[in-house]
Amino acid sequence: MKTALVKALAVHVGLLLIFVVGANFEFWQSDRQPQMATPEVDIVQATAVDQAQVDAQAQRIREQREAAQRAEEQRVAEIERRAQEAEQRRQQEEAQAQRAREQAQRERAEAEAEAQRLREQAEAEERRAEEAAERRAQEEAAAEERRRAEEAERQRQEEERQRREAEEQQRAERERQLQEELAEERARRESARQQRVLSEVERYQALIRQTIQRNLLVDSSMRGQSCVLVISLARSGFVTNVQIDEGDRAVCEAGRAAALRAGTLPVSEDAEVYQEMSEIRLRIEPEFN
């Protein structure tokens, strides 16, 4: 602003000097103009007239100078006023421009901040979407793995069930075969036992019959007769009871008396054989020589 004011004052001063020099030059020219020859009678009068004209001219020049100076001062003042107004407008415009720049900077900063926020938000959403997609993929993979594991476990259990069923069937078949074999073995053993027991029972029955026959008192009336006795024996062979079942009465009485008279009859030490002999049904037939 100071530079502009100095330039304006320099211009005004230059113009004023040009005006002053021009006025002096005009006055000098008027003093230097050649004078035409006039009659001497007119010299005094002309001199007086010229002095008055000079004074008037000088007065006009002074007035012109003063008017010019006032005009110049007014012009300079106007120029200064305009310069001040221009400077004020420039300052206002500069202030407005500064405010506009600051506003633009604020708006640009806000726009950049908003753009950055939106970018960050978009990046965050993208990250969340990627994380969600990754979680979904992991969950789907885990679900698929669980499904496969469950399917494998189901298949394993089914195979295990089938294996157990097959083993159970095999076991049951082996058990059945074993039971059959055991049953057959038991049957064979039982048959052999029974055969052995029966053989022993028959042998001991024959011995008991012989013992009773030895102690049997007979007469001719008993020839061709017989009697069935039911004899109860203790484990030692001791006769605990003799019952008459059927047959000739005389033979039955004689047979009962013979058994009791014997007191102890032969018995097997084998418990199974004794079990069959603890109560025997024996037919007695008297023997005659």
Residue 274 pLDDT greater than 50, yes or no = yes
**Contact, 207 vs 249, CB < 8 A?**
no
How would you class 80 by CB atoms within 10 Å of its CB: exposed for 0-12, middle for 13-18, buried for 19 or more? middle
Residue 150 pLDDT greater than 80, yes or no = yes
Q: Which residues contact 276 (CB under 8 A, 6 or more apart)?
A: 197, 198, 201
pTM across the whole model: 0.39
Residue 140 pLDDT greater than 70, yes or no = yes
What digits encode the pLDDT tens for the residues 216-261? 888 888 888 999 999 999 998 899 999 998 999 999 999 999 999 8
Residue 2 pLDDT greater than 50, yes or no = no
**Contact, 267 vs 233, CB < 8 A?**
yes
Q: Which residues contact 272 (CB under 8 A, 6 or more apart)?
A: 193, 197
Residue 3 pLDDT greater than 70, yes or no = no
Q: Which residues pair with 247 in a beta bridge?
A: 227
**Contact, 282 vs 229, CB < 8 A?**
yes
Q: What is the pLDDT of residue 28?
A: 34
Q: Which residues contact 232 (CB under 8 A, 6 or more apart)?
A: 239, 240, 241, 242, 243, 278, 279
Please give the structure tokens belonging to residue 289.
Answer: 């020589």
Q: What is the pLDDT of residue 45?
A: 52
pLDDT-based confidence at 48, cuts 50/70/90?
low
